[in-house]
Structure 1
Amino acid sequence: MSAFTVGSILMGTTRPQEMREWYCRVLAPGHTGEGPIDLGGMLLVIDQRDDVAPVNLEPGRMILNFHVEDIDAVAEHMREAGVNWTVPVEDRAMGRFGTFADPDGNLLQIIQFAPDAHAAIA
């Protein structure tokens, strides 16, 4: 059996319109229309839910990572979009990482791996 491909993520929230606007502004500024938001081939579906807390009480449980080629340019866009950084972009052994939170407190990261990082992982 081959590995599965992530096609979409369903995000439950008590404030779907605010979350949708945030995700479009920060991660998909060219996105228009309703429906799923395309995040580089993975679709984000934001859904109104009454069975979740207004803020994620355990944000480190799952972190959504975005691999980027120019982390400084991406970080500048995010600063201009008003991102709440939990860990500003920093150098680590495998490359450069920055961690931020969405309005519900879910954690996301941008990562620019060092050129030899993938070889080290393998």
Structure 2
Amino acid sequence: MAANTLTSILLASTNPDKLRAWYVQALEPDVDADQDKYAVLGFGGFYVLIDSREDIGDSNPEPGRVLLNFEVADARAVVERLDAAGTTWLAGLEDRDGSLFATAIDPDGNYVQIIELSEEHRAAMEAG
């Protein structure tokens, strides 16, 4: 029996063009494609789909329910790009035992974590 695989998440927005532009500028996806109805942004085999919806508000009323975690090679560089884009921060960049973490708020109010794991932290996770 094949294992279930999580491959994507859909972010609904009243302003999908603005949301897409933020993710492209901030996180430089390896895939950036427009479909007929939605944008597809690829991040290492996982996809963020951004679609227009009229049955939602302009901002996420409970952004703590789902956080998008992006592991990056250079958290400081990503934070600089986000700062240049005028991003609001829930939590600024901090060092947690050698790993770097920050939580940004995207244009729709969703929480987006930027994570740069230390080699020691990664090894411990892989060891289980």
Normalised by the length of structure 2, the TM-score is 0.80
Specify the alignment match of 1:60 in structure 2.
Answer: 64
Q: Which residue of 1 aligns with 2:84?
A: 80
The one of 33, 43, 46 equivalent to 1:42 is 46
Q: Which letter does structure 2 place at the counterpart of 1:22?
A: W
Corresponding residue of 1:107: 111
Q: Which stretch has the larger CA shift, 106-115 or 31-40?
A: 31-40
Runs (4 or more) in structure 1 with deviation over 6 Å come to none
Q: CA RMSD, aligned part only?
A: 2.3
**Unaligned residue ranges in structure 1 (runs of 5+):** none
Aligned residues: 122
SS at the partner of 1:60? coil
3-state SS of 2:122 partner: helix
Whole-Å separation in 1 of the counterparts to 2:28 and 2:100: 21
Provide the residue aligned with 1:8 in structure 2: 8
SS across alignment from 1:116: helix
Cα distance in 1 for residues equivalent to 2:26 and 2:59: 19
> What is the rounded CA distance, in whole Å, between the counterparts of 2:67 and 2:46 in structure 1?
15
Is the Cα contact below 8 Å between 2:30 and 2:41 reproduced in 1? no
Q: In 1, distance between residues paired with 2:9 and 2:17? A: 17
Structure 2 unpaired stretches of 5+ = none
Q: Is the 8 A contact 2:32 2:42 kept in 1?
A: no
| SS of structure 2 residue aligned to 1:117 | helix
CA apart distance, 1:89: 0.4
Identity within the alignment, %: 41
State the shift of 1:31 in Å.
6.0
Q: Is the 8 A contact 2:30 2:43 kept in 1?
A: no
- The TM-score normalised by the length of structure 1 is 0.83
